[in-house]
Amino acid sequence: MAYPTKYRYTREHEWIDANGKTASIGITEHAQDSLGDIVFVELPKIGDKVEKGKVFGSVESVKAVSDLYSPASGTVTAVNEELTSAPEKINADAHVAWIMKIELSDPGEVESLLTADAYEEYVKEETGH
């Protein structure tokens, strides 16, 4: 699975697709694969302030619950309501199924995150293969 080079990534397995002051955020292919069938997404609310590295919601598979950590700070401008009734869309295409959009308070923050290559390397080290 190719990780889009346009995105940046966190060690907690979120991706962020930043365009100027706005950004879409989701979880990575590796994250969805580790979780298995996703059955529940706890979304933030529009207008919520999110902070880099802090929890903004959760995803749950049949087996486990996993917190979502925001890759950058900002204000939530949109949430993907479709995931409430169809959370499996994350399994189907994790890099398209965004979870929230935010207005970045500091677009420079995104630069410090992992590139696609660095993230892929990180996943290899973490899983040992």
Nearer to other proteins by C-beta: 83 or 113?
A: 83
Contacting positions for other proteins (CB under 8 A): 36-37, 39-40, 58, 60-63, 65, 91
Nearer to other proteins by C-beta: 37 or 117?
A: 37
CB of 11 to other proteins, least distance (A): 21
CB of 105 to other proteins, least distance (A): 26
CB of 123 to other proteins, least distance (A): 15
37 neighbors 91 (Cβ within 8 angstroms): yes
Nearer to other proteins by C-beta: 31 or 114?
A: 31
